Amino acid sequence: MEEQFLDLKNSALSLILDTESLTELEEIRIQFLGKNGELTLLFKEVTKLSAEEKPEAGKVANEVKRIIENTIKQKSDELTKKGKSKHQSLDVTEPGIKPPLGHLHLVTQAIREITTIFGHIGFTRERYPEVEWDWYAFTSLNFPDDHPARDDWETFFIKQQPDSKMGPVVLTPHTSSGQVREMQKKQLPIKMLNIAKCYRRQSDVSHTQMFHQFEGVVIGQDISITHLKGTLDYFVKSYFGKDRIARIRPYHFQFTEPSFEVDISCGICFGKGCKLCKEGWLEMGGAGMVHPNVLKFGGIDPQKYTGFAFGWGVERILMMKEGIQIDDLRILYGNDLDFLKQF
Ligand code: PHE
């Protein structure tokens, strides 16, 4: 009986290994494993054996069946693969394999869009140090040494001996540190756009320790609040859409006088007040007329020149832009591809 099984195995294997066609392979399968196949019939013989002979013969029978099935499977895979590659080399219409394409981070996209919008009205993009002297970040912006308003900026300090004039070294907490640096270039009129990383000691759903601001500064003759308001309106309509408007509210900053908070009308209710915005307006950031003391620090005569400045968070306006709702700002920097791929 075992002999018969082994003979059957040998003849099946040689047929399987010899064939070059899937149809023929299927015929071989039926010949051995089909309902009336040779192996199936032999299995039936096993059931007729005595109780002592049965287990041993059954074992061999199963082993032979397993080997034949496996060999058929292997051969079938091999023939399918071969068939495909032959097919591919001929089929020039088959679509190619696209390599995965990445794209710019959504904060980078926003920075580029902001740059383009301000570029259209003559602003030039500038960059200033991220690791900055306290003097540029605060003192030159009209903050006396021990003024409590310094605390509003929750600054990171670098471990380094402070300089007698420039003070300690900090991670710049706002893009306003570029204001006096720009004035020191002594090229008037000024129309700069400073977009940079800023750092503050705060981390929660609406703050990351590293974030981006974009700061506009315009200085020249007869620059007034009207110019500031016009620029804000232009930006708001270009970035958020034609239907949105900006408003300014009195506020306080050390480096601007007068100072304002800029709000933008809500994209859902357009200023009427709704569930999302409550009051109809969303807070966008600070602005104001450059303080005469700051002009003096920058070597500019405040009797001859005036200017305005504004500074807003890139991530903040990105969140406010219609269609993008982010519950937790920190996801922007979480490297979660499922999130980032959407933009
Ligand atoms: N630097 C201010 C801030 O970080 C914003 C601001 C910029 C205010 C320019 C007025 C003028 O909050």
Q: pLDDT tens-digit profile of 135-183? A: 999 999 999 999 888 888 999 999 999 999 999 999 999 999 999 999 9
What amino acid occupies position 333?
A: Y
Looking at residue 88, what is its pLDDT? Answer: 57
Question: Cβ(128)–Cβ(196) under 8 Å?
Answer: yes
Tally of CA atoms within 13 A in the half-sphere of 168 that contains its CB:
10
Question: Cβ(248)–Cβ(242) under 8 Å?
Answer: no
Q: Is the CB of 174 under 6 A from ligand 1?
A: yes
Q: Is the CB of 264 under 6 A from ligand 1?
A: no
Whether 84 shows a pLDDT value over 70: the answer reads: no
Q: For residue 312, give the ligand 1 atom closest to its CA.
A: 5
The partner residues of 197 in beta bridges, in order of sequence, read 212
Cα 174 to ligand 1 centre (Å): 7
3-state DSSP call for residue 245?
coil
How many CB atoms within 10 Å of residue 320? 21
**Rounded to the nearest 5°, which phi and psi values hold at 72?**
-60, -45
Digit-coded pLDDT (tens) for 85-144: 555 567 788 888 888 889 999 999 999 999 999 999 999 999 999 999 999 999 999 999
Question: Cβ(284)–Cβ(314) under 8 Å?
Answer: no
Top pLDDT among 273 and 171 is at 171
Whether 248 shows a pLDDT value over 60: the answer reads: yes
Distance CA 178, CA 309 (A): 11
Looking at residue 228, what is its pLDDT? Answer: 97
Q: Is the CB of 309 under 6 A from ligand 1?
A: yes
Looking at residue 7, what is its pLDDT? Answer: 87
Pocket probe mutation, ligand 1, options 136, 142, 172, 174, max atoms within 8 Å of Cβ? 174
Whether 324 shows a pLDDT value over 80: the answer reads: no
Q: How confident is the model at residue 205 (pLDDT cuts 50, 70, 90)?
A: confident
Looking at residue 87, what is its pLDDT? Answer: 54
Rounded percentage of the chain residues whose pLDDT exceeds 70:
97
Q: Is the CB of 141 under 6 A from ligand 1?
A: no
Question: Cβ(308)–Cβ(189) under 8 Å?
Answer: no
Pocket probe mutation, ligand 1, options 172, 253, 316, max atoms within 8 Å of Cβ? 253
Q: Is the CB of 173 under 6 A from ligand 1?
A: no
Question: Cβ(72)–Cβ(18) under 8 Å?
Answer: no
Cα 188 to ligand 1 centre (Å): 21
Looking at residue 214, what is its pLDDT? Answer: 98
Q: How confident is the model at residue 323 (pLDDT cuts 50, 70, 90)?
A: low
Distance CA 196, CA 130 (A): 8
- Mean pLDDT for all residues in the chain: 91
Which CATH number is correct for 106-340, 3.40.1350.10, 1.10.10.10, 3.60.21.10, 3.30.930.10? 3.30.930.10
Range picked from 67-81, 175-189, 277-291 for highest mean pLDDT: 175-189
Q: Is the CB of 310 under 6 A from ligand 1?
A: yes
Q: How confident is the model at residue 282 (pLDDT cuts 50, 70, 90)?
A: confident
Question: Cβ(140)–Cβ(258) under 8 Å?
Answer: no
Would you give the DSSP letter of residue 204?
B
Ligand 1 atom 9 nearest Cα:
310
> What b-and-e string marks burial along 155-185, b requiring 16 or more CB atoms within 10 Å of the CB?
bbeeeeeeeeeebbbbbbbbbbbbbbbbbee
Interacting residues of 96 by C-beta distance below 8 A, sequence separation 6+? none
Looking at residue 343, what is its pLDDT? Answer: 84
Q: How confident is the model at residue 330 (pLDDT cuts 50, 70, 90)?
A: confident
Looking at residue 263, what is its pLDDT? Answer: 93
Digit-coded pLDDT (tens) for 209-238: 999 999 999 999 999 999 999 999 999 999
Tokens representing residue 4 in the block? 């018969």
Cα 313 to ligand 1 centre (Å): 10
Q: For residue 198, give the ligand 1 atom closest to its CA.
A: 4
Q: Which single residue is written with the structure tokens 């049965």?
A: 54
Q: Is the CB of 179 under 6 A from ligand 1?
A: no
Question: Cβ(266)–Cβ(321) under 8 Å?
Answer: no
Ligand 1 atom 7 nearest Cα:
311
